[in-house]
Amino acid sequence: MKLLVVATALGPLGSGRGGGVELTLAGLVAGLLQRGHQLTVLAAADSVLPVACAEASLWTCSGTPQPSVQHQDRAAPITLPADALLGRFWRRVLAEAPAAGFDAVLNLGYDWLPFWLTATAPLPIFHLVSMGSVTEAMDAVIADVAAWDQRRLAFHTASQAADFALPQPPVLVGNGFDLAAYQFCPQPDPLLGWVGRVAPEKGLEDAAAVAARCGLPLAVWGLVEDPLYAAAVEASVPAGTLQWKGFLPTHRLQAQLGRCRALLNTPKWNEAYGNVVVEAMACGVPVLAYRRGGPGELVQPGLNGLLVAPDDVDGLAEAVMRVDAIPREQCRRWVEAHASRAVLAARIETWLQRGLQA
Ligand code: UDP
């Protein structure tokens, strides 16, 4: 197939603004290239494609990024800034993609406009939905596409898909990672880890409380989206509990993350998947998480981590005491079997081919 993959309109690839979708795009494009498909990526100006995606063409547009939807009220109307990057992306898709001979467009952005365009667009648009329910307007437009032709939609996990009104059982594709990019670390340091955008829906305050209770430092990797929130979390625990590491490229992140005894994953929302959960496991780090959203499906208790009831900080602190019983090789093996780039690419190919049938 000749495919056009549209990135998020939140910022350039490589900046971290696109959250987990940036890594999803890298795994998906590299995996589809390996299966012999022709790929073009449409992304914000200044985007950098990872080396594994070098064979893909890159189209870029400049413009004002979208505000991130996860920080809006449920009743928020759809917003588009002046000179919207999103508008430029989709004008370019409609103007150039049909003549360029693409079989399909694969949208990775969680934005109203491409969903709304789907039923009347001059070529097939597919959507890998990257979040659960966030606003009523997005719920409605996703439900509209599902009612029109649900084959155009795929989701990462069952917990995520359950947020939406879908007439058919959902297509679930999980996610896929380049395992060669993550080195297995057999021997951890006395250190806990947390990875994610530093923003309230990610629940860093719970992980900080667990670390303080266990008397272990917590290394924190990720983009600080909300500095006031970061300062409040820092103030909630004894000085020195949190080690702020910043946003690192994957090769540096994994080298440091692998040294953790456990990853604490504490989202407060219905996390669609949880890339960082699988990235930690790929390094051999077991994951301690709430039984909620994607992480609640990815963590297999006793095999690659432990689950506790949502928001149970005491339960997580107790799980830290039991985590050393989990063999670290088991975590890595689980990722190899369930979340490799090749596994994702095969699922995406099947989804698109079925959706393209008359
Ligand atoms: N990430 C990174 N460097 C860092 C911290 C995080 O590249 O220092 C990436 C991480 O690899 C993951 C993404 O940020 O792909 C966070 O994705 P996740 O699915 O966990 O959450 P989202 O931000 O999409 O809600």
DSSP 235-301: HTS-TTSEEEEE---HHHHHHHHTT-SEEEE--SS--S--HHHHHHHHTT--EEEESSHHHHHH--B
Q: Are residues 164 and 186 in the same domain?
A: no
Looking at the CA of residue 202, tell me the nearest atom of ligand 1.
25
Structural domain count, the chain: 2
CA of 275 to the centre of ligand 1 (A): 6
In the reported structure, the alpha carbon of residue 21 is separated from the centroid of ligand 1 by a whole-number distance in angstroms of: 8
In ligand 1, which atom is closest to the CA atom of 19? 23
The verdict on 332 and 348 lying in the same domain is no
- 287: tokens are 């994951």
**Ligand 1: which of 155, 195, 285 to mutate, most ligand atoms within 8 Å of CB?**
195
Beta strands at 192-195 and 218-221: parallel, antiparallel or unpaired: parallel
Query: What is the position in ligand 1's atom list of the atom closest to the CA of 275?
Result: 19
Give the pLDDT of residue 239. 97
Nearest atom, ligand 1, residue 250 CA: 7
- What is the model's pLDDT at position 309? 98
Q: Tell me the per-residue pLDDT of 196-207, one tens digit each, with 9 for 90 and over.
A: 999 999 999 999
Are residues 32 and 130 both part of a single domain?
yes
Question: Same domain for 150 and 21?
Answer: yes
17 and 135 part of one domain: yes
Nearest CA to ligand 1 atom 23: 19
Q: What is the pLDDT of residue 306?
A: 98
Judgement on whether residues 6 and 62 belong to the same structural domain of the protein: yes
Nearest ligand 1 atom to alpha carbon 201: 25
Q: Are residue 217 and residue 291 in the same domain, yes or no?
A: yes
Atom 13 of ligand 1, nearest CA residue? 20
Residue 183 backbone dihedrals phi, psi, to 5 degrees:
-95, 135
Long-range CB contact pairs, 179-182, < 8 A, 24+: 179/282, 179/335, 179/336, 179/340, 179/341, 181/250, 181/251, 181/254, 182/250, 182/254, 182/258, 182/279, 182/282, 182/283, 182/335
Domain check: are 245 and 144 in the same one?
A: no
280 burial (CB, 10 Å; 0-12 / 13-18 / 19+) is buried
Our mutation pick for probing the ligand 1 site, out of 275, 283, 298, counting the most ligand atoms within 8 A of Cβ, is 275
pLDDT value at residue 68: 84
Close Cβ partners of 300 (under 8 Å, ≥ 6 residues apart): 334
- The atom of ligand 1 lying closest to the CA of 247 is 8
Q: Are residues 121 and 38 in the same domain?
A: yes
DSSP-derived letter for residue 303 is: T
Sign of CA dihedral 175, 181, 187, 190: negative
Q: Are the CB atoms for 266 and 316 separated by under 8 Å?
A: yes
Strand order in the sheet with 38-44: 57-61, 38-44, 2-6, 104-107, 125-128, 153-154
Q: What is the DSSP letter of 126?
A: E
Question: 89 lies in which domain range?
Answer: 2-176+340-355
Nearest C-alpha neighbor of 246 from the set 228, 264, 220:
220
Separation between Cα atoms, residue 27 and residue 321, nearest integer Å? 34
The answer to whether 41 and 59 are in contact (CB under 8 A) is: yes
Mutate to test the pocket of ligand 1, among 23, 245, 273 (most ligand atoms within 8 A of CB): 23
- Ranges of the chain with pLDDT below 50: none
Q: Which tens digits make up the pLDDT trace of 242-290?
A: 999 999 999 999 999 999 999 999 999 999 999 999 999 999 999 999 9
Q: Tell me which DSSP letter residue 8 carries.
A: -
Q: Which residues line ligand 1 (CB under 6 A)?
A: 19-20, 23, 195-197, 221-222, 247-248, 250, 253, 273-276, 279
Tokens of 2: 């000749």
pLDDT attached to residue 71 = 80
Residue 315: both structure tokens together = 């339960």
Which pLDDT score is estimated for 324?
Answer: 97
What contacts 354, CB < 8 A, 6 or more positions away?
151
Does 118 lie in the same domain as 226? no
Ligand 1 mean position to 7 CA, how many Å?
A: 15
Our CA dihedral for 53, 58, 61, 62, rounded to 10 degrees, sits at 60
Domain identity same for 188 and 334: yes
Residues 141 and 206 in one domain: no
Phi, psi (rounded to 5 degrees) for 178: -80, 100
Ligand 1, atom 11, residue with closest C-alpha: 276
The CATH number covering residue 202 comes to 3.40.50.2000
Which pLDDT does position 179 carry in this prediction? 94
Ligand 1 center to 250 CA (angstroms) = 9
